[in-house]
Structure 1
């Protein structure tokens, strides 16, 4: 069996570092109690620890309201959402065990990764390590043979995003974001929107978590990710500072440093304007390349902080519209060969151009306009790309979408199926100034944005069937299994006829079955569609040429 790079990502962070090292560095953690608090379950959708609580809102997202010093925050996060955290953990582990069944190979990779990640803790501030350690006490014991404790596993979750976009074969990120203000927004105030296209599998995205955190030190903030996170992927603080991240093209890092989600957390907790966010970025070394879009109510604008292991630069615009996908734009990276190659060969530039095209069609962007842009499934000039094409802003695989109005301290968070479900609105002044003893959702019903009607169409049902069938067929291909009929493959392709992928997979099966005429026709149909990357196009052309040679020899 071929061991996927996904497995390396999981093993990489499971082998990160050890609990004893943390306790040697911060011995006072040994004396902190884990049984001083208890969780009360009031219903299937509500759990409480004193005034802090976890509630599931009517849109289906979990909302976690937590406060205190680091140990208390971590402990309460675990008490309130420990089962959800364990579920997220198990999704990753099950994938690992499936992809790397060999125990000896797992052990070999983990020995290497323990060495590789031996300094990771040195780059994470003590308060976040404390919170992570306290949170880890809620992760139930597992007997999966990996030989790592709950703390290691919890720490790993905070680097999954970083290594995920480093490994070329692990195409799980392709985020798109934009900001408008002044004459480009409906009210002249700053507005920021983004899709987080971090896709592991459907199970991993089932339980979105909206965090509202009142730390003992620093600024209260909200963020969106999943259970078990201390870091931040998308968020805004009560001062109206926002942070979102877009992966850049990275080389395989030589050593682990600060996970980008921890950098974003530090900004939200301790920065109130762009200058303060820049200062934080400069003092926290990272080990992958990332564009952080940082917005500020106090500055009424947004900018990009472009980070890599070797340098940092900043990108601003003077036309009141900032667009970001997955390549760098600042002066320091203009001549960077890795960045140039990524622009030429990936789908980042295509989505960048599409965002600019859609923004040009909206003279003054409102929240509703922003959501419609994030949901757009079409290509340049409203061309058809096929459902799930990575070149679209919405390839129907986003973990979440979010829209910020920093000046008004208002945020809109998607639910359900990526960005297609309803958006729940929150006012951070109301959240952090409100009475948490009511243990209620602070979502504002009157500002909710309804789900996209596309979810109710036969076309969307076909896409869901296509996605499920793709997973099954791809696994069969990896195993060399040929027993799929021509009629089955034809039905599969017809579920999503405008996407290249169905024709490519059908062609691979026909090639295995030595039906080279059908294989050739399938690969040529795939090449007639919009293909997201140069590498994928070369792969299809390789199979097309092989099929053509075989067909001519018959």
Structure 2
């Protein structure tokens, strides 16, 4: 009896202790939930971007007039699709007004472009729940973003936002989304540090150009899926303040990545090695936009770049008809430099060259481990070989897909000037205010010519007609008619199928692009997934025998070879 009672008493004590532990755990769990909810609430609160105050919103009542199925006007403003496949836009007026007009004229494109952008994001992040959470994180990261954007551009972006899609409210309001999209380019550059896909640009003048005038060429290699690059816009702006200018852009985007103003000043941007951002600052494209709109020479461009804070590192290649030369303004979140070459040409890939920044640890690492230096050397090799530069020579260089000394490094290699991912490629002749813009696919189609002076002399668009200078069009690249190009298209198709987790024959992948190391990496990955470790190792080893773009990719390949050995022993 005594023993039985003692056992029951002990049992009650154990149950009581268990209840206390469970109760304590539940309280702790509740505490964590409250903390997490509070954190989310805080992120939502600080991530919210309120639109600017606009006194006159009468522009919202404007209606576009259709000239035909692909051309529209609002007053002197117009939007049309060229036979080349390029869209053309002209807008004028005050910030909010021109933003609204931009959105109304290109309404379908603004919505479609966001569809393409979010479709690509969904491929990387298929979970809607995680996308919503990511919205809060991006909102927190970009908290106070609008404090770093000048009022003029906030009003313009706000105007455009009225054309935003109604389908993405879970990401943010139209204004919040479009404002944040202007920073997506910068975040992309920072996060691509593992495998930076970079742009290439260069300029020649005086004896380095056949007619001594300034010529500038660039490839803009910013890839957010094929659909994103399908509907490029050649935009002409006549703002109420500042210089008239043109830029190559995509619907809903008001920043500048490539452009020229009526003073003959050009701006193109090239990413440099960046640390991971820790907070908001002025998006690079809006710094470039301000330079284009308000600078008339290199000195004025430098002054504008100096007064803006950025959260990534970037090179601005600035060409100036007034100076008849070009220079590179190099900017990091906390430093500024200028590279003015001692010769009459300048080349720019994805590393710094100025005395102020070339010796930094991050830049030296970029030069040693990325594709930048290789592409830089190839660019200079071609420039030296071609002699005094012309527009046609510039296009030839921008289309070049080989490695140093014409080595076959595979089609699509990041070390090549033409990586077959370019959103656009463009050539400027600032003194004449003329430019040539590439048409699909990539740099392989025609380069369509425009005379900027003639566009700005137009008084609206009365009938839908071609506005490019047809006499100056540069023909499509004959490379498109080769078996090598056709095989490359097969390679891209197979690569997309691998990304979609479809089963692909590894031998087909390497056969479609046999000199490209990444074809062997993809084949190795597919064989590894199929547990064919001996075959996978062979593909990885063959990849090492080819020209690899970055140190990070070489490290990955060697790790996979080790993994194959480990799996084979089991």
Bigger Cα displacement from structure 2, 150-159 vs 227-236: 150-159
Superposed CA offset, 1:350-404 (max 9, x none): 0000000001112200000000000000000000011111110001110000001
Residue of structure 2 in register with 1:70 after alignment: 95
Separation in structure 2 between the aligned mates of residue 84 and residue 110 of structure 1, nearest angstrom:
23
Match of 2:122 in 1: 97
Which residue of structure 2 aligns with residue 524 of structure 1? 541
| 1:500–1:527 Cα contact (<8 Å) kept | yes
CA deviations over 1:267-313 (Å, ceiling 9, x no partner): 11111111111111111111110000001000000000001101101
> Are 2:509 and 2:522, in contact at CA under 8 Å, matched by a contact in 1?
no
Q: Out of 492, 504, 520, which is 2:521 matched to? A: 504
In the alignment, which residue of structure 2 is the partner of 1:533? 550
Change (3 A) 1:17 1:237: farther
Counterparts of 1:279 and 1:292, CA distance in 2: 13
What residue in structure 1 maps to residue 375 of structure 2? 351
Q: Secondary structure in 1 aligned to 2:61?
A: coil
Corresponding residue of 1:10: none
Larger RCO (alpha carbons 8 Å, 6+ apart):
1
* 1:442-457 pair list within 5 angstroms: 442-457=467-482
Question: Following the alignment from structure 1 to structure 2, what is the Cα–Cα distance between the partners of residues 254 and 515?
Answer: 43
Contact 2:195–2:550 (8 Å) recurs in 1? no
Shift of 1:171: 4.7
Distance 1:79 1:18 in 2: 25
1:192 corresponds in structure 2 to 216
Q: Could you tell me how far apart the structure 1 residues matched to 2:68 and 2:432 are?
A: 33
Distance in 1 between residues matched to 2:121 and 2:537, nearest whole Å: 35
Contact 2:206 2:213 in 1 (8 A): yes
Aligned-partner SS, 2:90: strand
How many pairs align?
527
Find out whether 1:491 has 2:520 as its counterpart.
no
Which secondary structure does the structure 2 equivalent of 1:186 belong to? coil
Q: Do the aligned residues in 1 keep the contact of 2:195 with 2:370 (CA within 8 Å)?
A: no
Larger deviation: 517-526 or 504-513?
Answer: 504-513
> Whose radius of gyration is greater, 1 or 2?
2
Q: Which residue of 2 aligns with 1:246?
A: 270
Question: Which residue in the other structure is 1:330 paired with?
Answer: 354
Residues 48-447 of structure 1: pairs in structure 2 closer than 5 A: 48-142=73-167, 144=168, 146-168=170-192, 171=195, 173-439=197-463, 440-447=465-472
Q: Is the 8 A contact 2:202 2:346 kept in 1?
A: yes
Q: Secondary structure at the match of 2:219?
A: strand
Q: Which residue of 2 aligns with 1:3?
A: none
CA contact (8 A) 1:59 1:424 kept: yes
3-state SS of 2:445 partner: coil
Q: Normalized against structure 1, the TM-score is what?
A: 0.91
| Post-superposition offset of 1:41 | 2.0
What SS is found at the alignment partner of 1:167? Answer: helix
Q: Is the 8 A contact 1:172 1:197 kept in 2?
A: no
CA change 1:424–1:471 in 2 (3 A) is same
Q: Cα 1:55–1:17, aligned 2, differ >3 Å: closer, same or farther?
A: farther
CA shift in 2, pair 1:98/1:548, >3 Å: closer
| Residue 559 (structure 2) aligns with | 542
The separation in 1 between residues aligned to 2:46 and 2:454, in whole angstroms, is 39
Contact persistence 1:16–1:155 (CA under 8 A): no
Query: How far 1:101 sits from its partner (Å)?
Result: 3.7
CA contact (8 A) 1:411 1:427 kept: yes
Any stretches of 5+ residues in structure 1 without a counterpart? Answer: 1-13
Equivalent-residue separation in structure 2 for 1:206 and 1:199 (angstroms): 11
Question: Is the 2:448–2:468 Cα contact (8 Å) retained in structure 1?
Answer: yes
Report the Cα offset of residue 456 of structure 1.
Answer: 2.6
Give the equivalent residue in structure 1 for 2:51: 22
Superposed displacement of residue 36, structure 1: 2.7
Query: Alpha-carbon deviation of 1:510?
Result: 2.1
- Unaligned stretches of 5+ in structure 2? 1-43
Normalising by the residue count of structure 2, what TM-score does the alignment of the two structures yield?
A: 0.89
CA distances 1:8-48 after superposition (whole Å, capped 9, x unpaired): xxxxxx999545x234xx3x35x513433111222233111
Q: Note the aligned Cα RMSD (angstroms).
A: 2.0
Q: Distance in 1 between matches of 2:460 and 2:46?
A: 36
